[in-house]
């Protein structure tokens, strides 16, 4: 989507801001439904959830490819693919955590998963950019349909040990409240620069919904009923700080991806494939550092890796600001550093959070962890996009302000990482 922003906007008769809304809503749908989706893995089973998610996602790719306007694109891409992702992602992390009990082995497994995500991220913009330039952006969505069909065909090789014990009942009220809280917050940020009253209204509604959600799940626990999410998920200091770092990692990464993509295509006039080639620097950085996760886990603590990742990413943002010019090569060092920094801290952040809870609670913590991460992605795109289109500045200056805002978020993430326990995985469950 990022490398085809201009092409999609022109073809559908909309604006860059319209495509930003579609991207943000896709990420927001994932974030809002990740906790309910994870809970469903305990009710339906992990493999079944994965399959249902694949089918819904595949239908979304077809709808998006056939969309005559922004409305159907949002239905297919933002809603269907967002729902499908919320059902697909939790089973991957749950099954991995259950199968790999050793810290180093688990770090290597998560590193492999993140590394494969890096391969996808590296080839996605290139393939998408090439197809968009040579054929159409619609063909890129149809290619996703083919990939989904291949995964469905091979899903029988996935071994799921199954959920042990009594299957819980689904907490519909909790699901609605948690989703509304996230939606109102992101929508509020999207209103910044347009209507201050709406910003205050939506942010207030978001805070009220999340508070109501917490009171709701606490009330169900006190009555001996099973809520959507146990309040115990919020009592572990290492896990809480780990989720903060996860949120900000994705906020920075997705924010940078959106800002640089818009800048290259709208301000500099680069094509989709040129933009995809430039972004290869970031995704190669993610790939290389993720594949080294197992080795790094043996030599450094999880806290040290997360701190180092934020420092490297912040240096990358500074380099992007410093080297901005008309030469496309000037973007490569900064993007590579940002990718490498995020890759260094992705695996340890996931490891800290997932390993803070026993196997019986992996469904809940996986959904919460993925929801927090995807909320960060939504906020990154919303914040960066809002700065770009707010009218405060234009051209290079707007680009610079958006990067500064994301850098400030990175500093907050580094601050959270500094407060992590020295050996969070050894103190897990004792806080």
The mean per-residue pLDDT over the stretch 395-419 comes to: 87
Please give the pLDDT value at position 161: 65
Q: Are 368 and 354 in contact (CB under 8 A)?
A: no
Q: Which residue has the higher pLDDT, 332 or 427?
A: 332
Look-up of token digits 């020295």: 422
Counting other chains too, the contacts that 278-281 makes at CB distance below 8 Å and 24 or more residues apart are: 278/328, 278/331, 278/332, 278/335, 279/2, 279/3, 279/125, 279/335, 280/122, 280/125, 280/126, 281/331, 281/332, 281/333, 281/335, 281/336, 281/339
**391: number of Cβ within 10 Å:** 9
Q: Is 343 helix (H, G, I), strand (E, B) or coil?
A: helix
Whether residue 162 lies inside any domain: the answer is no
Whether residue 175 lies inside any domain: the answer is yes
Highest mean pLDDT: which range of 34-48, 247-261, 289-303: 247-261
Whether residue 295 lies inside any domain: the answer is yes
pLDDT digits (tens, 9 = 90+) for 154-186: 887 777 766 666 677 788 899 899 889 988 888
Residue range(s) defining the domain that contains residue 198: 171-227
Whether residue 164 lies inside any domain: the answer is no
- Sign of the dihedral through C-alpha 59, 64, 68, 70: positive
Quote the crossing angle between the two packed helices 237-262 and 302-323, to the nearest 10°. Answer: 20
Whether residue 150 lies inside any domain: the answer is yes
pLDDT at 211 over 50: yes
352 shares a domain with 266: yes
The mean per-residue pLDDT over the stretch 235-244 comes to: 88
394 shares a domain with 340: yes
Indicate the number of domains in the chain: 2
Please give the pLDDT value at position 417: 92
396 shares a domain with 386: yes
The mean per-residue pLDDT over the stretch 81-107 comes to: 80
235 shares a domain with 209: no
The string of DSSP codes covering 162-173 is ---SPPPPP-HH
pLDDT digits (tens, 9 = 90+) for 8-58: 888 998 887 788 788 888 888 887 888 888 788 878 888 888 899 999 999
Smallest CA-to-CA distance from 148 within 292, 222, 50, 77 is with: 50
Whether residue 17 lies inside any domain: the answer is yes
Q: At 59, which CATH number? A: 1.20.1250.20
């Amino acid at each position: 989507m990022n490398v085809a922003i201009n092409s999609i906007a022109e073809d559908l008769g909309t604006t860059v801001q319209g495509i930003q809304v579609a991207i943000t809503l896709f990420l927001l749908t994932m974030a809002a439904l990740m906790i309910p989706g994870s809970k469903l893995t305990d009710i339906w089973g992990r493999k079944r959830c994965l399959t249902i998610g694949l089918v819904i996602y595949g239908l979304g790719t077809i709808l998006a490819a056939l969309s005559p306007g922004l409305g159907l694109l949002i239905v297919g891409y933002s809603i269907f693919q967002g729902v499908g992702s919320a059902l697909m992602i939790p089973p991957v992390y749950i099954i991995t955590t259950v199968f790999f009990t050793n810290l180093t082995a688990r770090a290597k497994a998560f590193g492999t998963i993140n590394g494969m995500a890096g391969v996808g991220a590296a080839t996605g913009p290139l393939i998408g950019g090439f197809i968009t330039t040579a054929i159409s952006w619609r063909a890129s969505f149809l290619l996703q349909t083919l990939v989904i069909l291949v995964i469905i065909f091979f899903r029988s090789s996935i071994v799921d040990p199954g959920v042990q014990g009594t299957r819980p009942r689904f907490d519909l009220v909790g699901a609605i409240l948690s989703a509304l809280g996230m939606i109102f917050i992101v929508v509020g940020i999207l209103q910044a620069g347009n209507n201050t009253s709406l910003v205050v209204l939506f942010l207030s509604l978001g805070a009220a919904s999340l508070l109501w959600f917490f009171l709701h799940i606490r009330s169900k626990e006190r009555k001996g009923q099973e809520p959507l999410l146990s309040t115990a998920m919020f009592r572990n200091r290492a896990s809480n700080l780990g989720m903060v770092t996860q949120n900000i990692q994705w906020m920075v990464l997705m924010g940078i991806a959106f800002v640089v993509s818009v800048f290259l295509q709208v301000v500099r006039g680069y094509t989709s494939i040129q933009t995809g080639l430039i972004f290869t620097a970031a995704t190669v950085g993610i790939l290389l550092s993720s594949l080294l996760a197992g080795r790094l886990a043996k030599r450094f603590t999880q806290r040290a890796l997360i701190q180092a990742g934020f420092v490297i990413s912040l240096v990358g943002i500074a380099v992007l600001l410093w080297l901005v010019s008309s030469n496309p090569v000037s973007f490569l060092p900064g993007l590579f550093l940002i990718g490498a920094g995020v890759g260094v801290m992705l695996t340890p952040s996931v490891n800290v959070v997932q390993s803070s809870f026993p196997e019986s609670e992996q469904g809940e913590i996986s959904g919460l962890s993925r929801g927090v991460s995807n909320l960060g992605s939504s906020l990154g795109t919303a914040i960066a996009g809002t700065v770009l289109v707010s009218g405060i500045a234009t051209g290079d200056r707007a680009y610079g302000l958006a990067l500064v805002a994301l850098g400030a978020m990175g500093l907050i993430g580094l601050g959270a990482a500094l407060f992590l326990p020295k050996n969070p995985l050894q103190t897990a469950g004792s806080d």
